[in-house]
Structure 1
Amino acid sequence: MEITRNNFLDELDTIKRDLSKSCFVGFDAEFTALLSTECFKHRLFDTSEERYDKLKNKVSNMIMTQVGLTMFQYNRDLDSYTATGYTFHLCPQVFGDIDQSFIFQASTLNFLCKHNFDFNKFTYEGLPYLSQVEEARVRQSLKDKSLFNDLSRMLTMEEEKQLQQYQSQVSKWLKRSQEDTLYLDVENPVLRYITHIEVRMSFPEVLTTDSLGNSKKILIYRDKDVEGAHSAPIAILEDNLMSHLLGFSQIISLLSESQKPIVGHNIFLDTVLLHNQFIGPLPNRYKDFKNNIHTMFPNVYDTKYISHEMSMKLSYHEVWKSNALQDLYEFFSEGKCKKLQNGVNLIKLSRPFNVKQSYHEAGWDSYCTGYCFIRLGHWTACENRGSYRPVGPVETLSALAPYCNKVNIIRGAVQYMNLAEDDPPRHRPGLLHLRALAKRTINVAEVASELATFGSLDIKPYGSRTALIAASSRHTTQVILKQYKNSKVYRIAPYSVYRHSTAGRMAIWSGALITGSLVLYLLHRKLK
């Protein structure tokens, strides 16, 4: 189901109920940028901390435009799962001194157009949201009684004109009508809040409240003597305003409070954007970032990492052709997994998506992610017990516990980011140091082209005549070292901090100088 600002309040209770009944939640998001520039190229040199440092200052104006959530509910009697999917459309908002901004890369626009992204839903119907930092600012303004004045000063000319019309309408009604009540149609929730306050200040004798059954109407009573008349407390008006401003952030809070396991596919960037968009500006310290995400979502699974690890248990002819989400989903959904020919749980959608089921549509991708998670968990649980039969969510989560909070790192020096503990040590082979012998300057592109035939690797300059090489496998490093053992063009050797880094050489020479000076001093004293 698609959720926009038009149906969000109507569906909120249903979403809460689906979440409460679920055993875990599939997650996916679509972004306004693809980070395809050279600056964001995934390199074998990068640890997860270095990858984070590259991203944190570049994604501040990048947002999620769609978030897909699929709640998976388990039916114990039928040993089956029912999936209920939602696609939430999001759009930044302007409120008081909060003016959320974002960038759209041209390449991303082309990508989204190719996948039939609905820009009208994004612009006209997207849900607002606030980060925890922004929410705290608004609540403090409410507490200080400064929010109303701030909002009044920032009204557009059109909104000022509309507010004056409401005031005039109330004035004419009081003077010329005998009716006990008046209804004002105020579509904009922020203007509705301001109208309540302005009417109460201008006409102290009247009572105002939101109309029952239609929150977009303000109901005004002529005076307190009208039967059933009452004014909505200011606290209620403020809660209604906050509910509107928070929008999709309420869903994020529900997910956090529920402590339900969150399942995504290749979600390193997703976690960075979740922090920036719903917690607050990204912290300088990588550990603080991890701690904040882990506090909000204590149980995160990444099917990209899980499938990579489990692929090593299959032969070449058994394994999926790639663990991209589409390939992985089709591998399991089309029954290509020989390990899961019998005893698998049925997985069905509670209702079809009301958009075309296509990849890179957040709701559909979140369903595919959860589907793969169930199949991977089923396979692992059955391997653990040695027999294949239907598997419930408790056993699935127990079987996949070793992968919990491990987020895949694409083409990096480490395999995953560990949200709950320290990251693992580098799993790549040690770096190689290359020195040009025949030329005074090194051409990195030329070297990369020459070495590419030996396997996957990355090269970066390390000086005018030197470079560092990071290879994806030990086999690649061994082949390169063997091939260039007697080369007259390049000298390639395992990298050593002491031999090849300026700091290391300085430390050695400084140590030698100090040691030499001490020896001379002692000899001098002995001779003297």
Structure 2
Amino acid sequence: MPEITSKNFSENYSQIIDDLQRATFISLDCEFSGLVVNDYSFFDSPADRYNRIRKNVEHYNVIQLGLSAFRYYAENKEFNCTSYTFYLVPPVLYRPTSNIMCNIDSLKFLCKHKFDFNKLLYYGISYLNQKDEENVIKMIDEGSNFVDGYNEYYSKISEWQRGAKVGSELILPIDEEHENYMTDILHLEIRKNFLDLWTYQDKSNVIKIRKITMSEKEKLKTNNNEEITIKKNVFDSILGFSKVMKKLEKLKKPIVGHNIFMDLIMIYKQFFGPLPKSYKKFKENINKVFPVVYDTKYCCNLLKTYVGKKDVWDKNCLSSLYEFFKHGRGTKMVMFMPCVVNHEDYTNMEFHEAGLDSYCTGFCFIKMAYMFSLWDENQKTFNNTSVPLSSSWLFQGTKKMKNHINFSRGKTSCIILDSSDPPDIPLVLLIVRAKNNIHLNVTGILNEITKYTAVDFKSLNNYKGLLAVRNKNKVRYILQQFKDRQEFTVDVYNFWIHSYFGKIIVAVAVLTTSTVVTVAFQKVIRTIKS
């Protein structure tokens, strides 16, 4: 699988764009520098979770991004795939954009899966979001000093300049670890900061410097077409991988990911602009960038409801789903499964390598889309007949999954990017209250209750909290199991009885009713007396 770094990005760029343009759909996967949010809860609405993520991702980055372009060939009735793995780092230009925050858990996770940090840091591809683009263009036009990393070169040049005669030349080797754009910037910086020097490109890692007269310098500066070209090259190099993302936005191809919500948030933040505070606005914005998105995590959750228990995959993780369709029962569930051709050797590759994961995601999407296209809703079974293969069945079978994004362990089952989210999933709320003024042992309580069903806890104070239970059939069992506990009580939550505001409303209602009755009674008494 092609690994794309700053060293081979330019030479592969045209082929990458050509593959994306020809694709029937494009799948993607991201690896992050930090694990942002893990404390998902049944109490979370999509807006709650989005805002929590938004506040935590400012300094985390997508450091590896995989793209797989799947193209359908009608003559062979098969899909062909080309995958790429991109290593990404922010440009070393000015302090606000040159930081990457990592956390230990994420580093350990990436190391476990053999992530190459040297390749990332030495050869990562630059990128900019829209705000940074404006700043960089301004810096290049104004001739601002970009970085402090040229001091060693300035020292060599100054020492040579003092004794050099007009016409003398200095061959300046450039550290090959420098990005191409940094070499171009050095050309501009030398010409600006040394009044009697001019630079020429000699070889890829060498700059030729000549001492000239002031009149020669003025003539060279007048003919500034070369400097315009250099500035364009600088900006193009710094823009880097953002050119690919801009192309994806322009192409409007269907995008496929596995559990893609976090990927969409990070991609938008990193390549397009600041994350809006409004969850609704984020959905609108990301839908403009990628109008058609499919989430294979959502698709596989839905497909589970169509197949028997013996036919399902072990887990909803990508590796389990891929093994199911590549080597397991998924290969035999329906006839004439579409063929996916990829000429890369994945034998020694591991999951959580972004290019491989993007390929596996697209592979599973094709298999599931075909099964959905065979589903007979009336008969509640798959029509085991050959469907004429074309790219149309791919999206016809998954029509109702378009722009539906998996929402794990939350108030609703999914996020819908181009419409309102579905209603909340009904929950049963239980209230847990401590006895004898003793603090609740929340960990101990959850350890016991989660033996029976999945629950989430929301603390109200040290002495009471709410339990959210999604499986209604388990509520009676929980109440029965914990009815005689000495440390705490568990009851079905009632807003009017257990909520502070509910009690206030009831008290006000009772007081109002009592006042009305009293006034009416007094009127009756006065009438009788008169």
358, 362, 371: which one aligns with 1:379: 371
Which residue identity lines up with residue 318 of structure 1 in the other structure? D
Q: d(CA) in 1 for partners of 2:279 and 2:195?
A: 54
The answer on 1:331 being equivalent to 2:331 is no
The answer on 1:112 being equivalent to 2:107 is no
Which residue identity lines up with residue 67 of structure 1 in the other structure? L
Question: Which residue is equivalent to 1:135?
Answer: 133
1:383-421 residue CA offsets vs partner (Å, 9 max, x unmatched) = 259433353322211211211222212222221122222
Equivalence map 1:25-36=2 (5 Å): 25-35=26-36
The answer on 1:4 being equivalent to 2:5 is yes
Structure 2 segments unaligned to the other structure (5+ residues): 377-381
The answer on 1:254 being equivalent to 2:247 is yes
Q: Say if 1:2 and 1:87, in contact at 8 Å, map to a contact too.
A: yes
Q: d(CA) in 2 for partners of 1:463 and 1:495?
A: 16
Which residue identity lines up with residue 308 of structure 2 in the other structure? S
1:296-323 residue CA offsets vs partner (Å, 9 max, x unmatched) = 2121111011101111111111111112
The answer on 1:49 being equivalent to 2:47 is yes
Where 2:167 maps in the other structure, the secondary structure is helix
Q: Say if 1:429 and 1:477, in contact at 8 Å, map to a contact too.
A: no
- Going from structure 1 to structure 2, the CA distance change for 1:200 and 1:437 (only over 3 Å counts) comes to closer
77, 80, 83: which one aligns with 1:79: 77
Where 1:81 maps in the other structure, the secondary structure is strand
Structure 1 position 128, deviation (Å): 1.5
Question: Which residue is equivalent to 2:188?
Answer: 196
1:108-164 residue CA offsets vs partner (Å, 9 max, x unmatched) = 22222221111110110111111222222223445xx43x23437x45522533664
1:449-489 residue CA offsets vs partner (Å, 9 max, x unmatched) = 33233212122322343221112322222432455568776
The answer on 1:431 being equivalent to 2:429 is yes
Where 1:425 maps in the other structure, the secondary structure is coil
Structure 1 segments unaligned to the other structure (5+ residues): none
Q: Say if 1:163 and 1:195, in contact at 8 Å, map to a contact too.
A: no
Question: Which residue is equivalent to 1:414?
Answer: 412
Q: Say if 1:335 and 1:341, in contact at 8 Å, map to a contact too.
A: no
The answer on 1:161 being equivalent to 2:159 is no
89, 92, 96: which one aligns with 1:94: 92
Q: Say if 1:428 and 1:473, in contact at 8 Å, map to a contact too.
A: no
Q: d(CA) in 2 for partners of 1:286 and 1:111?
A: 29
Q: So what's the TM-score if we normalise by structure 1? A: 0.85
Q: Give the aligned length.
A: 509
Equivalence map 1:7-406=2 (5 Å): 7-35=8-36, 40-142=38-140, 145-146=141-142, 148-151=143-146, 154=148, 156-161=150-155, 164=158, 172=165, 174-176=166-168, 188=179, 189-196=181-188, 198-199=190-191, 231-232=224-225, 234-337=227-330, 340-352=333-345, 356-383=348-375, 386=383, 387-389=385-387, 391-406=389-404
Q: Say if 1:210 and 1:232, in contact at 8 Å, map to a contact too.
A: no
- State which drifts further: 489-498 or 250-259: 489-498
Which residue identity lines up with residue 467 of structure 2 in the other structure? I
- Going from structure 1 to structure 2, the CA distance change for 1:458 and 1:360 (only over 3 Å counts) comes to same
Q: Say if 1:344 and 1:378, in contact at 8 Å, map to a contact too.
A: yes
Which residue identity lines up with residue 193 of structure 1 in the other structure? I
Q: Say if 2:28 and 2:65, in contact at 8 Å, map to a contact too.
A: yes
Where 1:510 maps in the other structure, the secondary structure is helix
Q: Say if 2:167 and 2:211, in contact at 8 Å, map to a contact too.
A: no
Which residue identity lines up with residue 303 of structure 1 in the other structure? T
Q: Say if 1:444 and 1:460, in contact at 8 Å, map to a contact too.
A: no
Structure 1 position 8, deviation (Å): 0.4
- Going from structure 1 to structure 2, the CA distance change for 1:330 and 1:390 (only over 3 Å counts) comes to farther
Q: d(CA) in 1 for partners of 2:425 and 2:207?
A: 61
- State which drifts further: 56-65 or 97-106: 97-106
- State which drifts further: 183-192 or 369-378: 183-192
Q: d(CA) in 1 for partners of 2:50 and 2:24?
A: 31
1:9-35 residue CA offsets vs partner (Å, 9 max, x unmatched) = 010001000000101111111122234
Equivalence map 1:461-480=2 (5 Å): 461-480=459-478
Where 2:451 maps in the other structure, the secondary structure is helix
- Going from structure 1 to structure 2, the CA distance change for 1:210 and 1:71 (only over 3 Å counts) comes to farther
Structure 1 position 428, deviation (Å): 4.3
Structure 1 position 185, deviation (Å): 6.1
Q: Say if 1:343 and 1:390, in contact at 8 Å, map to a contact too.
A: no
Structure 1 position 215, deviation (Å): 9.7
1:259-315 residue CA offsets vs partner (Å, 9 max, x unmatched) = 111111112222222233223343322222222222221211110111011111111
Which residue identity lines up with residue 447 of structure 2 in the other structure? S
Q: Say if 1:68 and 1:362, in contact at 8 Å, map to a contact too.
A: yes
Q: d(CA) in 2 for partners of 1:63 and 1:88?
A: 13
1:478-503 residue CA offsets vs partner (Å, 9 max, x unmatched) = 43245556877654343333332222
Percentage identity across aligned positions?
A: 29
Q: Please give the root-mean-square deviation of Cα atoms over the aligned residues, in Å.
A: 3.5
- Going from structure 1 to structure 2, the CA distance change for 1:217 and 1:306 (only over 3 Å counts) comes to farther
1:217-261 residue CA offsets vs partner (Å, 9 max, x unmatched) = 68999979x9xx964355433321111112111111111111111
- Going from structure 1 to structure 2, the CA distance change for 1:486 and 1:306 (only over 3 Å counts) comes to same
Structure 1 position 351, deviation (Å): 3.8
Where 1:453 maps in the other structure, the secondary structure is coil
Which residue identity lines up with residue 494 of structure 1 in the other structure? V
Structure 1 position 106, deviation (Å): 2.1
Equivalence map 1:476-491=2 (5 Å): 476-481=474-479, 483=481, 490-491=488-489
- State which drifts further: 313-322 or 342-351: 342-351
- Going from structure 1 to structure 2, the CA distance change for 1:360 and 1:315 (only over 3 Å counts) comes to same
- State which drifts further: 416-425 or 379-388: 379-388
Q: d(CA) in 1 for partners of 2:323 and 2:17?
A: 30
Q: d(CA) in 2 for partners of 1:340 and 1:315?
A: 11
Q: d(CA) in 1 for partners of 2:156 and 2:127?
A: 25
- Going from structure 1 to structure 2, the CA distance change for 1:215 and 1:235 (only over 3 Å counts) comes to farther
Q: So what's the TM-score if we normalise by structure 2? A: 0.85
Q: d(CA) in 1 for partners of 2:516 and 2:137?
A: 66
Where 1:70 maps in the other structure, the secondary structure is strand
- Going from structure 1 to structure 2, the CA distance change for 1:141 and 1:475 (only over 3 Å counts) comes to same
Which residue identity lines up with residue 136 of structure 1 in the other structure? E
Q: d(CA) in 2 for partners of 1:167 and 1:309?
A: 72
